[in-house]
Chains A and B, each alone.
Chain A
């Protein structure tokens, strides 16, 4: 989200899901939409039905490729070069929107300087995409009435994740495909309330509503409302917390509903860090591999057992309603935190989640008009600054959140780890349609478990032949960080030299292999690229 915040001033999906239906060109890059965001895929299907051009950029032959007018399989981690190449063609042909660039943006000359270096031939060499395809993408995207970019973790989970996002923002601004209906740069958030967790200040550098902790006025405002002295020091991100545990500067970790023991890169490193904590408290609904390491485990309530709100990927705040009482002695997480805080000496006495949301509205300008009462019906998309405001369908109409949109001139950098003689295969990771994240919920759902009971490794049949493995065989996959045993699935979804693993399965845990090298700004690990070697298991 840091990339979009830098370019536009707001790190969120610029347009709404339903608007995709009326786009004339959709560029899907680094999103396996039918598996990970099926109800967004619905809108892409419909756009296609209405005549839109659909461009899918993905090293894997994902399902959406069946609907694509053009599928481009670029080399892993070469997104910046590809987008620069597309912009090069757009500028060379005068397909850009000069009026938009003049009126709404800054930094164009710097961008032009870098993009000029990315001739189609050079871009083709880096990315493995043909000159013709680069030209087609440029023409379709630039010349459509309304073009929309959809991206997901295939863009962000790189050491150059922020650069990748900024590049997409560049492309949208260069062509004026932003700030209008059915356009924009649209990151699909992977988890039901990841948008909300960010909005609520579940980040080390900002209070609720992205108000920076190191701006004195913000701190004073929150000190007053919360009646407490607050730290002006930006806190640690997850990689920083893990490093702190290893170095001894962090002693205690309190984890609510997260499972870093499956979800984080280089699991052996994570386990070592968590084991060194003097106090590890885990609040969750299942005894996850992370909870198994804890000193204290607190049973939370599931979404079906409490009231509240989630904010979806299009910034729509929607109600969660209690269907049943919490299971056993489990308690809603807000009640647990409130009780804990009171015992800690900082009393919290909210009557209900509705009362908490009222306080959120008081301190968070973009949620200023959002209350439980107003969420009946279709919910509200932020920004919704006051009680009369209808919410905001798409962002940046007429003006970017930061004023002028900012171009970033970006050079291509290769991934942190590349293949070599010892580790000759590119490994990329992702999700499957039946499972979700670390599988805590889906693998405990019989219907979903039976649909896909175990993990697998996708490998090209040519490579399988070379290794002497056939479908169903088990291979040992090793990276510089660890090794796992996994069943192989022979498929041309992956090209020769590349393999894919879903990361949901703890017993064939892809994140034992992945590289914790992360983006310097967003701290997102490079899950999408690392180097591995394969051998048939005995």
Chain B
């Protein structure tokens, strides 16, 4: 699989279409993000499935934003899965990345990963490697929905009680680009003791994920307390789709939902 990516990246670099390609590389015996800039040196490039598919994914889009902010005139390539593509579209739509400066190189996720992610679309529209896997529905959400609301609330309170307030869910999130973060606003949330204010901290973040979360699951993987944040945000995404007929990243690039605010239709 990675050979196809390498070939594609090599051509992009040689042709000068991109300045660099943000992908993954196995180096020093570990897998990490890496900016490939030399077509002759793509050694160690991997797709991030070390022991099982997708077990070493990184927030490449978020890193791309950091790079693009410093080098707005350059074009960069980036490896994208289905979720990353949804992320790119949403970031294009909110002017965080310029679609003309990004070349995506797609891979389709294997079924095992699609199952684990409960992914609604485990492949980008175009991909150079992999076979499209079948979509999966949100069983984890359904399981919680089947519970009585008091019990469900207790489950979440218990999950949140382990939070060590690392802010990792926000830090890793490719959709968290705000300069001022509500989680750090003293008007909303107290500082100091652990766990983070329960449940306000995580519910505040969940609300901010509405209309944003592209269901990549990096938050879940990064959580030192194994809080099933992805399930929480999947539920939020379901509610947003039901109420506003919008699911981030699934429409055309740059599209945003139409909201009725103060009696006016705002069309973007």
Contacts and interface: CB of A to CB of B under 8 A. Distances in A.
Contacts of B30: 377
A63 interface: yes
B224 A66 contact: no
Interface string B155-185: 0001001101110000000000000000010
Contact of A491 (B29, B158, B161, B193): B193
A34 B164 contact: yes
A452 B194 CA distance: 12
A276 interface: no
A376 interface: yes
Contacts of B29: 376-378
B194 A34 contact: yes
A450 B190 CA distance: 11
A491 B194 CA distance: 12
Given A46-B226, A378-B29, A452 B195 contact: no
Given A35-B194, A376-B29, A45 B226 contact: yes
Nearest to B195: A63
Looking at chain A, what size class is its interface with the partner chain?
20 to 34
Interface in A42-81: 42, 45-46, 49, 63, 66-67
A377 B28 contact: yes
Interface in B10-24: none
B42 interface: no
Contacts of B225: 41-42, 45
A41 B191 contact: no
B161 A66 contact: yes
Given A66-B161, A377-B30, A489-B192, A38 B166 contact: yes
B178 to A, nearest CB: 14
A376 B184 CA distance: 38
A399 interface: no
A451 interface: yes
Give chain B's interface residue range (CB within 8 Å of chain A): 10 to 19
Contacts of B164: 34-35, 38, 41, 63, 433
Contacts of A319: 28
- Chain B interface, >50% SS class: loop
Contact of A45 (B162, B165, B184, B193): B162
A433 B161 CA distance: 15
A466 B191 CA distance: 26
Interface in B200-233: 224-226
A378 B29 CA distance: 7
Interface in A240-268: none
A39 interface: yes
A434 to B, nearest CB: 8
A321 B193 CA distance: 33
28 contacts: A34-B164, A34-B194, A34-B195, A35-B164, A35-B194, A38-B164, A38-B224, A41-B224, A42-B224, A42-B226, A45-B162, A45-B225, A63-B194, A63-B195, A66-B158, A67-B162, A319-B28, A376-B28, A376-B29, A377-B28, A377-B29, A432-B192, A433-B165, A450-B184, A450-B191, A489-B192, A491-B193, A493-B193
Interface of A: 34-35, 38-39, 41-42, 45-46, 49, 63, 66-67, 319, 321, 376-378, 432-433, 450-452, 456, 489, 491, 493
Interface of B: 28-30, 158, 161-162, 164-166, 184, 191-195, 224-226
Given A319-B28, A433-B194, A450-B184, 15 more contacts: A38-B164, A39-B224, A41-B164, A41-B224, A42-B224, A42-B225, A42-B226, A45-B226, A49-B226, A63-B164, A376-B29, A450-B191, A451-B184, A452-B192, A489-B192
